[in-house]
Amino acid sequence: MDEANESRQRDFQEWMVTQALADYLGEPGKEDPRRMTWLFALEAETPDGIRSITDMCKFEWAEEIGGGHEVSFKDDDKGKLTLEEFKKKFWTITPDFRYWTKDGTKQLIIEAKGTPKPIGRRDRDQAERYFKYLQDSGFHGAIVYFAPSPQDWLKLLIEKSGNSGIPFGAVDLKDKIIPEVHNELVRVVAMALVQTADLLGQALRFSKTT
């Protein structure tokens, strides 16, 4: 593979895309309505064919919808679980994006992945916990992955969904997400390069003193 082709095969780091998407959508409480509508209208590959995120989670974006980027689970998210059970099993979960209706009965969990395929036990355990959470809490909702190879991630979700009946799907990260957030992604990558340059400068200064 020549250098130009190799460059095109590289994926953006996962955190870069999630941060760009978060910047694109807007801060919690200050979201851009048009962009949030775009997010909920995204079509995902599912075992039953192509479905929109709204169709899977059964709610549309509205100003009273709560959630956002990396919103950790709180006591109010326990649903039918006792607080002790909830804290023991799900207290540390922080999806890349999570949204819920005002009455809290419906939730949407979105996880972004930067690799074409699941890379090991961590990915498997994470998916299993998302399904287990929605199943045990009694909330209605959906689990959606944004990934560069949706079919490969869909296989993992099919395996981990079991007989839960929870809707799930995978959205093509490269075709549907990155082109939409390209301006924000440029800024995120540029900032990362600036920080890397600063660290390189510090390293060079230290090397000159030894």
Asked if residue 105 belongs to a domain, the reply is yes
Asked if residue 6 belongs to a domain, the reply is no
Provide the pLDDT for residue 206: 60
Q: Reply yes or no on whether the pLDDT at 1 is more than 70.
A: no
Report the SS3 class of residue 194: helix
Q: Report yes or no: 67 and 98 within 8 Å, Cβ to Cβ.
A: yes
The pTM of the full predicted model, rounded to 2 decimals, is: 0.87
Asked if residue 200 belongs to a domain, the reply is no
- Domain total in the chain: 1
Average pLDDT over residues 81-85: 93
Asked if residue 148 belongs to a domain, the reply is yes
Asked if residue 151 belongs to a domain, the reply is yes
Provide the pLDDT for residue 4: 36
Asked if residue 39 belongs to a domain, the reply is yes
Q: Report yes or no: 10 and 104 within 8 Å, Cβ to Cβ.
A: no
Asked if residue 152 belongs to a domain, the reply is yes
Which range marks the domain in which residue 173 is found?
A: 11-183
Residues 146-157 pLDDT 10s = 999 999 999 999
Distance of alpha carbon 167 from alpha carbon 83, whole angstroms: 25
Question: Closest Cα to residue 127, out of 160, 166, 98?
Answer: 160
Q: CA–CA distance from 122 to each of 93, 127, 136, 209 (Å)?
A: 13, 9, 21, 41
Asked if residue 43 belongs to a domain, the reply is yes
Distance of alpha carbon 68 from alpha carbon 193, whole angstroms: 26
> Phi/psi at 154 (nearest 5 deg)?
-65, -35
